Amino acid sequence: MEKIRALIVDDSSVMRKIVERSLRQAGIELEQVMEAGNGAEALGVLRENRVDLILCDINMPVMDGLEFVRQMGTVENGKGVPVVMITTEGSESHVVQALSSGARGYIRKPFTPDQVKEHVVPVLGKKP
């Protein structure tokens, strides 16, 4: 699998590090990891950087993950980038909202590296 450039969007810096570590433990080779604390910051990162994958929390201050997914297509570097939502929200309505907003998958917290691999590898278009 080729190395990817990932953007991790979560208002918790600890959770961003857990997501990064889980990606690595899942065998996903990372060329670069960028971070943002909310959707507005993530849009700023996308304006300046090309990424291959976005992992995004739903509940964040300033701009939540659902609004970020809706707006990321307005940024050139955001068009067509696969998004996997990572959330504590267990309700079907949040999952449906995320997927209808453009996310390609979701992972519920807490998660394991195996769950990350199971949900991330398919959106990258590669077999595990």
pLDDT digits (tens, 9 = 90+) for 84-109: 998 876 666 777 777 887 889 888 88
In words, the CATH class of domain 4-123 is alpha beta
Q: Residue 28: helix, strand or coil by DSSP?
A: coil
pLDDT digits (tens, 9 = 90+) for 10-62: 999 999 999 999 999 999 999 999 999 999 999 999 999 999 999 999 889 99
Measured between alpha carbons, how far is 24 from 101 in angstroms, rounded to an integer?
Answer: 27
Domain ranges of the chain: 4-123
- pLDDT number for residue 91: 62
Burial 29-56 (b: 16+ CB within 10 A, else e): eeeebbbbbbbebbbebbeeeebbbbbb
